[in-house]
Amino acid sequence: MRAIIWKQWKKKSKRLWGLLKLGVPRWIADKGSGWGDHYQLVAPKSVLKRAISKSVLAKRGL
Query: pLDDT tens, 1-44?
Result: 777 777 888 888 988 898 888 888 898 888 877 776 776 677 67
Three-class DSSP category at 8: helix
> Structure pTM?
0.73
Contact of 16 with 30, CB cutoff 8 Å: yes
Question: In this predicted structure, what is the pLDDT of residue 52?
Answer: 76
Domains identified in the chain, total number: 1
For the chain, the first-to-last Cα distance in angstroms comes to: 8
**Segments forming the whole domain that contains residue 26:** 2-59
Mean pLDDT value of segment 34-58: 74
Alpha carbons 25 and 28: distance in angstroms, whole number? 6
Residue 59 identity (one-letter amino acid) = K
* Separation between Cα atoms, residue 13 and residue 43, nearest integer Å: 18
Amino acid identity of residue 30, one-letter, is D
